[in-house]
């Protein structure tokens, strides 16, 4: 059990969560969601978990649109206990499950759309791997790049993570070839079009949600790792997706969301290009102790499907742990330099 888990389990029955919420009330919590599904599936949030999250937010926090948090921040007056909800990619289940619940609870949200996905031009590659695993005719996969046999049957989530992590390090062409090999190895035919359970929202739905208050931002055209792109490719991803959103909705998107969103997936060059393309802010996919410190790298908490992780994020225990880590690192560094 980590120190953070110990603090959580000991302090929770004594009102520790509310104390943490009070101490971190000036620290806005920006939540990142991807998919909502009826049943548990490879880390997805279920409808009942999402409802539970919204109940907590409604009861104990101040839900705000992300863009207002960005503009409040420029005047350094973020409302206490602010929470902003964001969704990435643009899957159809946002229309089926998420938006109706957000609307019923009067909670605002922002969706970052991969425009090539919504336009029907591409099927997101992590979903291709998941489809191959879910429909595998064989129990394991043997790929040279993995250095051996990988059990898939009964080990679906881990296999998906291992194969996706490997693809993240590969170039676009290499990735395509690995995915072809995964399908072949598992005895699965590559479908001619995106299977139904991985389909995107359409622009009509998005426009209806915008008229009901949904904020829309960009998540690139094809969801590549931006730090690996040339300057020209980068401009195409940033401006192309922006243009597509403007043409299809009439909205000039303010926000951009880095695909994959981890520290290696963007850099100063990418941030400058995001700014030059006309965006006013950008979001990452990991938390940080000062989430609004850099408007072009705003930190978010991945919404987890276990309630302990969710409560730690939203009530501020994760943030306090990050601060403690910084202090202890500083002490160790000071000791190191004194020695």
Instruction: Return residues touching Zn ion (CB under 5 A).
Output: 88-89
DSSP, collapsed to helix, strand or coil, labels residue 293 as: coil
Please report how close the Cβ of residue 40 comes to Zn ion at its closest, in angstroms: 20
- How does DSSP assign 250-261, residue by residue? S----EEE-SS-
Q: Which two tokens stand for residue 50?
A: 């999402």
Q: List, in sequence order, every beta strand (DSSP E) within 8-165.
A: 29-33, 36-37, 45-46, 62-63, 82-89, 109-113, 140-143, 148-151
**CB closer to Zn ion out of 216 and 321:** 216
Please report how close the Cβ of residue 210 comes to Zn ion at its closest, in angstroms: 20
**CB closer to Zn ion out of 298 and 321:** 298
**CB closer to Zn ion out of 8 and 266:** 266
For residues 322 and 328, is the Cβ–Cβ distance under 8 A?
no
**CB closer to Zn ion out of 24 and 37:** 37
Please report how close the Cβ of residue 219 comes to Zn ion at its closest, in angstroms: 6
* 73 Cβ contact partners less than 8 Å away, ≥ 6 residues apart: 28, 292, 295
**CB closer to Zn ion out of 28 and 200:** 200
Please report how close the Cβ of residue 123 comes to Zn ion at its closest, in angstroms: 13
Phi, psi of 74 (to 5 degrees): -65, -20
Please report how close the Cβ of residue 160 comes to Zn ion at its closest, in angstroms: 15
Residue that is written with structure tokens 């276990």 in the block: 306
**CB closer to Zn ion out of 88 and 265:** 88
In angstroms, the CA 34 to CA 311 distance is 18
Please report how close the Cβ of residue 20 comes to Zn ion at its closest, in angstroms: 29
Please report how close the Cβ of residue 126 comes to Zn ion at its closest, in angstroms: 9
What is the DSSP pairing of strand 62-63 with strand 82-89? parallel
For residues 200 and 92, is the Cβ–Cβ distance under 8 A?
yes
Which residue's CB atom is positioned nearest to Zn ion?
A: 88
Q: Please give the angle made by the CA atoms of 172, 174 and 177, to the nearest 5 degrees.
A: 110
CA 304 to chain centroid:
11
Q: Which two tokens stand for residue 290?
A: 């000062």
**CB closer to Zn ion out of 87 and 166:** 87
């Amino acid at each position: 059990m980590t120190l953070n888990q110990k603090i959580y389990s000991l302090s929770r029955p004594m009102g520790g969560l509310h104390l943490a919420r009070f101490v971190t009330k000036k620290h806005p919590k920006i939540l990142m969601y991807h998919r909502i599904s009826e049943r548990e599936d490879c880390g997805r949030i279920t409808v009942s978990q999402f409802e539970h999250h919204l109940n907590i937010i409604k009861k104990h926090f101040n839900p705000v649109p992300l863009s207002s948090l960005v503009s409040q921040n420029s005047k350094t007056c973020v409302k206490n206990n602010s929470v902003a909800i964001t969704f990435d990619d643009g899957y159809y289940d946002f229309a089926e499950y998420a938006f109706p619940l957000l609307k019923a609870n009067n909670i605002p949200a922002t969706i970052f759309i991969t425009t090539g996905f919504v336009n029907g031009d591409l099927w997101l590659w992590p979903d291709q791997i998941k489809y191959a695993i879910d429909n595998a005719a064989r129990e394991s996969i043997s790929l040279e790049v993995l250095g051996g046999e990988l059990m898939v049957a009964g080990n679906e989530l881990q296999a998906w993570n291992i194969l996706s992590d490997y693809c993240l390090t590969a170039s676009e062409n290499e990735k395509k070839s690995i995915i072809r090999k995964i399908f072949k190895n598992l005895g699965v035919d590559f479908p001619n079009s995106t299977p139904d359970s991985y389909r995107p929202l359409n622009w009509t739905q998005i426009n209806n949600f915008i008229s009901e208050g949904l904020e829309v931002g960009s998540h690139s055209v094809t969801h590549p790792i931006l730090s690996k792109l040339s300057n020209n490719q980068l401009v195409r991803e940033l401006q192309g997706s922006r243009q597509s959103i403007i043409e299809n909705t009439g909205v000039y998107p303010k926000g951009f969301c880095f695909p994959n969103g981890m520290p290696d997936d963007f850099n100063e060059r990418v941030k400058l290009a995001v700014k030059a393309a006309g965006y006013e802010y950008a979001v990452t996919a990991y938390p940080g102790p000062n989430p609004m410190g850099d408007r072009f790298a705003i930190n978010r908490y991945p919404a987890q499907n276990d309630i302990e992780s969710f409560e730690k994020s939203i009530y501020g225990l994760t943030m306090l742990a990050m601060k403690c880590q910084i202090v202890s690192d500083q002490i160790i560094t000071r000791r190191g330099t004194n020695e």
